[in-house]
Amino acid sequence: MALVSLRNVGKTYRSLQGDDYVAVEDFNIEIEAGEFFCLLGTSGCGKTTVLTMLAGFEQPTTGRIEIDGRIIEAPGADRGVVFQGDDSLYEWLTAVENIEFGLRMRGIERKERRDRALHYLELVGLKGQENKHPSELSGGMKQRIQIARVLANEPRMLLMDEPFAALDAQTRLSMQSELLKIQASTNKSVLFITHDIDEAVTLADRIGVMRAGPASSIKGIVDVDLAQDERERTNDRFLDIYKTVYGMIREEVGIAMSRQEKAAGQGA
């Protein structure tokens, strides 16, 4: 049985004017234990909506979302969320205190939480930086602190919403490499949201390509059966998978643009 399943999931929002907006409809995926699954799609296709429902921040309008066979009804310690920015770090706490924060809220004894925090600080490559405050850290370091804080709570799964989008290109590549090492050493399941094809092929075991919104669903799933030394952007097998995903996304971009042009024409 898969660790996570989303079955016939739909999400409809009601505007202040009383209009319905269907973000996702008949959405189906399964994610295995230890799998790195990237959800890829154009802007506005509902990627983040899927993640927030899996996190338990919102409930689906239709369908069901399960983890370990249990219906997800609220946030839980078995799912850790890493956001895009670093706003969730507390500026008045040091790096190690930020990592400890969730453990302290759970009542974990001081020595145990400090030992655990230092362990994950070292795992994300920041040994020796424990006494620095967020203002003293680079953007990449702050993201590592966020990842360490989530890992310290020892969830079954990481939910990552474009966590590297705000980083410069070189730091982003470095963080992708570090994330693969962390995932390999912890064997956590990962749902990683991105709109970057290159990033998805670099990281994923499988890529779920979403249709253009509204009422988005899964267009198709692409297996990324690449060895570590094949996850180079100039490798022929990497490029073959990239081209497959690019073709799928290009079709959806065309659909999205056609809808926008039609809507603009109707509003004229």
Report the C-alpha gap between 90 and 41 in whole angstroms.
31
Length of the chain: 268
- Would you say 137 and 89 are in contact if contact means Cβ atoms under 8 Å apart? no
Q: Give how far Cα 263 sits from Cα of 16, 24, 29, 41, 60, Å.
A: 20, 20, 31, 21, 27
Least Cα distance to 213 among 256, 154, 168 occurs for 256
Pairing of strands 218-223, 36-40: unpaired
pLDDT in tens, the chain (268 residues): 899 999 999 999 987 777 899 999 999 999 999 999 999 998 889 999 999 999 999 999 999 999 999 999 999 999 999 987 666 899 999 999 999 998 998 899 999 999 999 999 999 999 999 999 999 999 899 999 999 999 999 999 999 999 998 889 999 999 999 999 999 999 999 999 999 999 999 999 999 999 998 999 999 999 999 998 999 999 999 999 999 999 999 999 888 888 877 777 776 5
Beta strand 218-223 with 157-161 is unpaired
* Distance separating alpha carbons of residues 49 and 249, to the nearest angstrom: 19
The answer to whether 150 touches 183, Cβ cutoff 8 Å, is no
Q: What's the Cα-to-Cα distance from 100 to each of 38, 51, 126, 138, 156, rounded to whole Å? A: 28, 24, 15, 20, 18
Is 32 strand, coil or helix?
coil
- The pTM (predicted TM-score) of the whole model is 0.93
| Residue whose token pair is 């506005």 | 44
CA 59, CA 73: separation in Å to the nearest integer? 7
